[in-house]
Structure 1
Amino acid sequence: MEISEMAAVGGNEHKQETICILGTGDFGHSLGMRLLKSGYPVVFGSRSPQESSLLPSCAQIFTHTEALKKAKIIFLAVHRENYDFLPALSSFLDGKVLVDVSNNLRKNQYPESNAQYLSKLVPKAIVVKGFNTVSAWALQSGSLDANKQSKKNKTMELNKVQSWRVDVYFALGMMGFGLYVLLGITSLPSVSNVVNWREFRFVQSKLGHVTLLLCTAHTAVYGWDRFLQSKRYKWKLPQAYMLGMVIPCIVLVLKLILITPCVDRIVTKIRQGWERKPKHKQALV
């Protein structure tokens, strides 16, 4: 066998079978588009082929009889109320797979299911029920195409700096919020009346500044290097998180100055009642 003949045989083995869709409504149109994208030849069957223009460009449209002659698998995309044309086509459906995709408007609308009713109309066809939980919109949007979605959802390379930044951002936020809640509980009269003065001062002063530090660091990690990017300054104005850090940073800087040993020693003496003596009294002493 020559190479050209082998290629021809191989191409025939992978050739997709033609699919017929009876019905040119929304669901038939959407189903035809999906089948065409999957590589299947599609033919539509319609009562008025010349008037059916809103169909996929690669699909062919024929009368019911002509379309049924070209396929062994037929999708019936019409409502049950329009099944009256099927008995006349019974001979063209012998031994072929007829997939019913219809749904009734309400539960128990008819004594038997649509598939059972179809089996009575075309007894020699192989009736299959399917696509009853799939909408035309889902077929058009491609939300059911797992292969297509997997191509879109490419695995991104792990950014260690970004990962570390996100972890620190959430950790600082949770710790700061926890201490903030503790400060609020301590401020309640029923709680503040129970603790002594040292405990209350520790929570409201030292722990309060720690809470402010954590929350400010949380905001700073959120901003990260955005302040270096000129495109972030719309109308040449600083961002909201930068303005929100002004007062907390001023408070923290002043607190840092106050806790330095030289300043803290003087402040402690003042709190204990120390007063500076006038110069003439110091000379007498």
Structure 2
Amino acid sequence: MSKEVKSESVSLCPLGTAAAPEQEPLCIFGTGDFGRSLGQRLLQSGYKVVYGSRRPHSCGPLPQGAQVMSHAAAAQSASVVILCIHREHYDFLETLAPQLKGKVLVDVSNNLKKNVYPEANAEYLHKLIPGAHVVKALNTLSAWVLQNGPSDASRQVYLCGNNVVAKQTVAEMATKLGFTVLDRGSLTAARELEDFPLQLFPEWRLPLRLAISLSAFFFIYVVITDVVYAYVKNGKDISFRIMVSLANKVFPIVSLIMLSLCYLPGVIAAFLQLYRGTKYRRFPDWLDRWMLCRKQLGLIALGFASLHVLYTLIIPIRYYVRFRLAANTISQIKENRTSEFDTDVAWRSDSYLSMGILGFGFYVVLGITSLPSVSNALSWREFSFIQSKLGYVTLFFCTFHTYLYGWNRFLFPSSYKWYTPSAYMLCLVVPSVVIVLKLLLLLPCVDHRLVRIRQGWERTDPEEDSNKSLLK
């Protein structure tokens, strides 16, 4: 009888009017910039948010729609507690151990320096509240990213923890916020995740060191061959040229070498594949690291090229240049002579400037297309065409620009001060080698074999050998 009444009572309810279970809120400890930004983003994503604060009635403005209460009450109302507080304020959590038992604690903290504490913050939190499920996550994000939404450079977030269910809960929350989650394993990886935001341009270290080393070497080289040589041999003090003239020699030299170093590893990799006869063997570690920093090498090269352009533009307003022009004009007037127009020099000068302008223009195109917002709008074929084919064209124009600058100076003994070649001659070595090797790879017989290897063919492919034997 009771079953019949029960079924009848259910049938009398209108369809769709059954009360949905109320969504459980997410709890945030901390009302600072990060806590407020995270709460605002969670509310926009459809979550209910409750804040835990020491001063619930005077904790400052919070996102509209969020509740605020004491730490104990907030922790009691939610199964996920996000700790947006610094490690030095974790001590009060011990008093909340009963309320936090069985809860998912998301640790988003970072330190100001590496190795400040003997263990990671998340590991310390796990010791402090052993009954909770600690997950390290969201610590690689900033308040600005949370407010403005994930961009291409900050879309990926990392997490780690010992409890699979707890990590899955946090991963679903991060995915709903618009981030891509990468699980780094157990809580022992927390130290690595906490050190990650403290890294200073890790992908730029090798290119920057290389740029600084090249700049220092060539600057010292040109100071010796230009300033010191002129003072020792002729007793002239031309040290004033260090600030502009010598700097404007170093910038294009470093730029051209850095640009050629962007394409040299690809050429080396191609010849390595031809030598091995397969694409399935790993490249050496040094070559892998080199290829991974090609974008940074190219952007630094563009920076040096831009400095070269700016320094070149100020040449007409330099005191030294204006003085030389005025002195030459006065000398010609006194001697009643006029310099004849040299068509060959005019051709060489215009060609030199034209190659430089075209090279810098392509340089800028390469730099713009390397931006994530631009590269994401290009297909892979378009991106490859610009960065590869157009890149080699840029390298050719810039190298040709340097050859036109030197012209036939290498034939004159005066160019070899103290029996050393000019700096521009040294900078032509690497780009010339890259261009020659690339031309060899473009030979039809070589290119055909390389394309086959990159499509999966191997020199010792048994299926290929059997087909050849059948044809015989």
TM-score relative to the length of structure 1: 0.49
Larger Rg: 1
Greater share of residues in helix: 2
